[in-house]
Amino acid sequence: MSGPVILPRVIRTRAELSAALETAPRPVGLVPTMGALHEGHASLIRRARADNRTAIVTIFVNPRQFNEVADFDKYPRDEEMDLRTCGSAGADLVFVPGVDEIYPPGFQTSVRVGTLAEPLEGVARPGHFDGVTTVVAILLGLVRADRAYFGQKDAQQLLILRRMAADLGIGTEIAACPIVRAPDGLALSSRNARLGPEQRAAAPILRVALTAARARYGAGERNGEVLRRVMRDTLATEPLASPEYVSCADTATLLELDHVSGAALLSMAVRFGDVRLIDNDLLP
Amino acid sequence: MSGPVILPRVIRTRAELSAALETAPRPVGLVPTMGALHEGHASLIRRARADNRTAIVTIFVNPRQFNEVADFDKYPRDEEMDLRTCGSAGADLVFVPGVDEIYPPGFQTSVRVGTLAEPLEGVARPGHFDGVTTVVAILLGLVRADRAYFGQKDAQQLLILRRMAADLGIGTEIAACPIVRAPDGLALSSRNARLGPEQRAAAPILRVALTAARARYGAGERNGEVLRRVMRDTLATEPLASPEYVSCADTATLLELDHVSGAALLSMAVRFGDVRLIDNDLLP
């Protein structure tokens, strides 16, 4: 039996946020989310809680990072449940702005990262990363956190946000947290709830494919195409899985590697019906 | 006879700047410049000095806001003279970064303001404002000043930077300072030095045209096209002046006004040979 959850303080406007930050003990840790919080998000909040004197979560379903209005409309929203998750994980403040608070009337500014945003997710989701970099720049500007926490699951997003913060002289450290997985290896995602039972049973194949490639790497394989083929061949054993891309890329440029000499990002996007899942692993 | 000028402290890297800011008394006022400092810049520095406990000037000839490499190459640079101007006007710190300090290796982020950047100067100088917003976002990120000072002479730039700061939640107040003019009315500009003697004698016609339009406005005229025509007709009396645009625009949108009901920006760009001058006046 668990005790009562202390709900965090909810703020909804830029002005309230600014006032709250004036008295918030430093350092401040920020966890930007789109809600639909799961254990992966909770791990980010606990880390922000542990590293800082103030932990702030933002919940904002950002219309600018959806490629299709229908996806935005059907994105799951359950504020009460999310606030309980924030409270349990130790958030002090939760910023839940309306769209007009993030994008005030006449808004017309965008922040864009170049070549890092082009391959992989950038191919499948045109404009997506411009939406992400713009909203994160706004949140980092408003909160001026000492640290901001993002999940390693969105590996390309993490690289892009680090690039943006370095390029624009943003004084917030971009911290990465490990992927949180279900017991069978499936990376947690709000999209997992949309998988049918058979799809859900098949979905851990992403992790199996990554593990197979890592094993080949551990056995000495350094040919990027061989590592990609190992992943493709593993995915091909699962009839419900439709791979969109399979990548073994340079972690600095996200360009595909012929030969793995330093760090490499193994990553993939795979469809199960209309549900698109991603996963990744960093070598070594 | 003037006393010796105390030269301000010069810093050249992000790291030195960051260290210097840790002990700089707040509030901090920032004056971003491209050097070639004249009395207009000095007025910005004196204002930053008067309003804040620390006054920082940046001198950075930004390659990204030039439309042509030749313009960038021939832009006047005289660091010693500029530092004396900064010192005389009361700057505590002058940040003179190399290009790689502002745009580190792999730099690929841009900040863009939309429709406000399209008309007037945006037509004549494609990409110019993207360069300005990107570099100013970087400087505001690095300095985290309480206030940043810009001249009203670049009226469109000022509107764009205010829009950017509001949109991105940048906590620096964007302060405008009045145009500083030569005794004959010509707005100060580093470009004035490139005018030949006859061109220099003719250049105050911009101010004359603005004054004529303001007088018509003062007499009750509210038709935007009539006010533009007054400016065009005045400029036409000067054979050395080749107008590029003449505008009477809404101060929020920079769209041309048919009828002036609230605030309006009178502005113009005029060529004298290969020297392009701008000037403006705010109604009322």
**Statement to judge: residues B56 and B162 lie in one domain:** yes
Residue A3, in any domain of the structure: no
Kindly give, in sequence order, each residue whose CB lies less than 8 Å from that of residue B118, ignoring residues fewer than 6 positions away: none
Each residue of B155-175: b (16+ CB within 10 Å) or e? bbbbbbbbbbbebbbbebebb
At residue A2, the pLDDT reads 56
Measure in Å the smallest separation between the Cα of A20 and chain B Cα atoms. 15
Instruction: Provide the annotated active-site residues of A.
Output: 41
The domain tally of chain B equals 2
Look up the domain containing B170 and give its range: 9-177
Looking at the fold, whether B122 and B233 belong to one and the same domain comes out as no
Q: ipTM of this model?
A: 0.93
Q: What's the whole-number mean pLDDT along residues A69-96?
A: 93
Q: Annotated catalytic, B38?
A: no
Say yes or no: B117 and B208 in one domain: no
A170 touches chain B (CB under 8 A): yes
Verify whether the Cβ–Cβ distance B112 to A109 is below 8 Å.
Answer: yes
* Residue-wise pLDDT tens digits, A39-54: 999 999 999 999 999 9
Q: What is the mean pLDDT of residues A96-109?
A: 96
> Is the residue at A47 inside a domain?
yes
> Domain of A236: which CATH number?
3.30.1300.10
Q: Are A156 and A195 within one domain?
A: no
User: How many other CB atoms sit within 10 Å of the CB of residue A16?
Assistant: 16
Whether B98 is in a domain gets the answer yes
| DSSP summary character for residue A13 | S
Report if residue B247 sits inside a domain.
yes
Is residue B173 located within the same domain as residue B270? no
Strand partners, B176: B150
Contacts of B15 in chain A (CB under 8 A): none
* Same domain for A220 and A170: no
Flag whether pLDDT at B195 surpasses 60. Answer: yes
Torsion angle, alpha carbons of B250, B254, B256, B260, to 10: 10
Q: Mark whether B199 and B129 lie in a shared domain.
A: no
Select the residue from B135, B144, B167 to test the A interface by mutation, using most A Cβ atoms within 10 A. Answer: B167
Q: Tell me: the pLDDT tens digits for A170-218? A: 999 999 999 999 999 999 999 999 999 999 999 999 999 999 999 999 9
CA nearest to A199, candidates A212, A186, A210, A209: A186
Q: Taking CA atoms, what residue in A is nearest to B116?
A: A108
Domain boundary among B121, B149, B177: B177
What confidence score (pLDDT) does residue B1 get? 45
**B79 and B137 housed in the same domain:** yes
Q: Which residues of B touch A22 (CB under 8 A)?
A: none
More confident residue, A90 or A72: A90
Does residue B4 lie within any of the structural domains?
Answer: no
Interface test with A, best of B130, B168, B173 (most A CBs within 10 A): B168
Residues B146 and B195 reside in one and the same domain: no
Contact by Cβ (8 Å): B171, B145 = no
Which of B155, B177, B199 is a domain's end point?
B177
The model's confidence at residue A1, banded by pLDDT at 50, 70 and 90, is very low
Identify the CA nearest to A284 among candidates A232, A240, A221. Answer: A221
Residue A242 inside a domain? The answer is yes
Does residue A86 lie in a domain region? yes
| CA distance to partner chain B, nearest, from residue A57 (Å) | 17
**Chain B contact for A133 (CB, 8 A cutoff):** yes
**Local confidence band at A267 (pLDDT 50, 70, 90 cut-offs):** very high
Residues A46, A13 share a domain:
yes
Asked if residue B173 and residue B91 are part of one domain, the reply reads yes
Q: Is A252 on the interface with B (CB under 8 A)?
A: yes
Q: What is the CATH number of the domain that holds B40?
A: 3.40.50.620
Task: Choose the closest CB to A14 out of B137, B169, B252.
Answer: B169
pLDDT at A247 over 90: yes
Local confidence band at B2 (pLDDT 50, 70, 90 cut-offs): low
B63-115 tens-digit pLDDT: 998 888 888 888 888 999 999 999 999 999 999 999 999 999 999 999 999 99
The side-by-side arrangement of strands in the sheet containing B147-151 is B9-11, B93-95, B54-59, B28-33, B147-151, B173-177
A126 vs A73: CA distance, rounded Å = 18
Q: Has residue A225 been placed in a domain?
A: yes
From B128, B154, B177, the end of a domain falls on B177
Best mutation target, A28, A111, A143, to test chain B (most B CBs within 10 A): A111
Does residue B168 share a domain with residue B112? yes
Q: Assess B116–A contact: CB distance below 8 Å, yes or no.
A: yes
